[in-house]
Amino acid sequence: MGHGKLIKFAQNETFSCLLQPSSQELLADGYFNLRDHSVKGRWVDFFKDAVNPGSLVLELGCGKGEYTIDLACRNPQSCYVGVDIKGARLWKGAKYATENKLANVGFLRTRIEFINAFFAKGEVDRIWLTFSDPQLKSENSRLTSPMFLERYRKFLKPGGVIHLKTDSRFLHEYTKAVCEVNGFEVLACTSDLYGDSGAQLEPEVREVKTFYEKMSLKQGFKITYMAFRIDGEEPIVKPSDPAQFDSKLWRSLEEPRHFFGQTE
């Protein structure tokens, strides 16, 4: 491990806005029986210094936290939690939030598979999925798969909205198919966010950009966007018919991205 990462990890321990729970404690009773963290159901206490702690919004897979921070600065009436497993990435967002005294910003270092250990029923208003890994070969690993949507449903408020912003047409079309086969309400859907079809969307959708979004735009990739609700009690199912989602077709059309001279 490089010296720079060690410094960041040490500084992470000093940031009150960053929670770094022990996976060993969460998994003490097994993977399928996670222990609840003490913050579950008590995020109002975590954000006690916020001027007006209203709705709670998550960004899952937040990376360095730039989207979380930008949204929080635009909407001081809401509280934002960025979730990621990479401590070196979270360091940047936590450092910025600390130095700029952003009381409505928090970060959580954990695997998204463990998310239900941290949020209680009806505690979350909205979820942002920004440039998630499309997981071309592993459906259950996609953050919009039925497996993950079932997790989110346990803590989203009725009418809560999930936002998906991605440069992966594969993930966009897959998510659209999941919504269609389950009868979910789709509030917005465009395959070209910065084209005419995205012009009427909320400013925060078009104006806030992650590092990877800017890189993808420079490489000529179109950005897609969806907003949808997953209300209901019926089990969430996969799109199993190729007429609903042709995984082979969309996988074949997916192009590689290049960041820092490397393909990702």
**Bridge partners, residue 163, by sequence:** 128, 227
Spot the catalytic one: 49, 84, 125, 133: 133
CB 40 within 8 A of CB 19: no
Residue at token pair 């695997």: 111
From CA 121, how far away is CA 144, in angstroms rounded?
Answer: 19
**Pairing outcome for strands 156-166 and 186-190:** unpaired
**Pairing outcome for strands 56-60 and 18-19:** unpaired
Helix/strand/coil percentages in the chain, nearest 5: 35, 20, 45
From CA 207, how far away is CA 187, in angstroms rounded?
Answer: 19
From CA 65, how far away is CA 155, in angstroms rounded?
Answer: 22
DSSP state of 54: -
Residue at token pair 């735009």: 217
Query: Could you count the other beta carbons within 10 Å of the beta carbon of residue 30?
Result: 8
Is residue 36 part of the annotated active site? The answer reads no
> Which of left, alpha, beta for 41 (phi over 0: left; psi -120 to 50: alpha)?
left
Q: Which residues are catalytic?
A: 133
